[in-house]
Amino acid sequence: MIIDATIAANDLLAQVFNPDPETPPVADKLLRLVRYFTWFVLLSGTLAIIYAGGRFAWEKWSGGPLQSPKQVAGALVGGIIATSAGTIMNAAIGV
């Protein structure tokens, strides 16, 4: 009885095939959206660094307390993470 179950399981597993990978039907639109989002993130990071740099110059010139170096550092760290997201995902997925 156990041998019959094993043979039946082997026959069932032999019917399972290895499908060829293919792209989903809307992959091109999704990739376009990802490219737009990447462009927006890079533009936002660049504008944040420019704004924080201008604020840093204004705080230095007016003699007020310096709070903008934190903004510059935050924008730089955010930019590094945003631009390396693809590399991080490729390493995590193992492609």
Residue 17: predicted pLDDT:
64
**19 in any annotated domain:** no
Contact partners, residue 71, CB within 8 Å, separation at least 6: 48, 51, 52, 55, 56
Q: What is the pLDDT of residues 54-93, one digit of tens each?
A: 888 888 888 877 777 888 888 888 888 888 887 887 788 7
Which one has a higher pLDDT value, 47 or 3?
47
Q: How many CB atoms lie within 10 A of CB 75?
A: 20
Most confident of 6-10, 19-23, 68-72: 68-72
Is the Cβ–Cβ distance between 59 and 66 less than 8 Å?
A: yes
For the full predicted model, state whether its pTM sits above 0.85: no
Determine, yes or no, domain membership for 11: no
Residue 64 lies in a domain: yes
Percent above pLDDT 90 for the chain: 1
Residue 63 located in a structural domain: yes
Q: Which domain holds residue 39?
A: 25-93
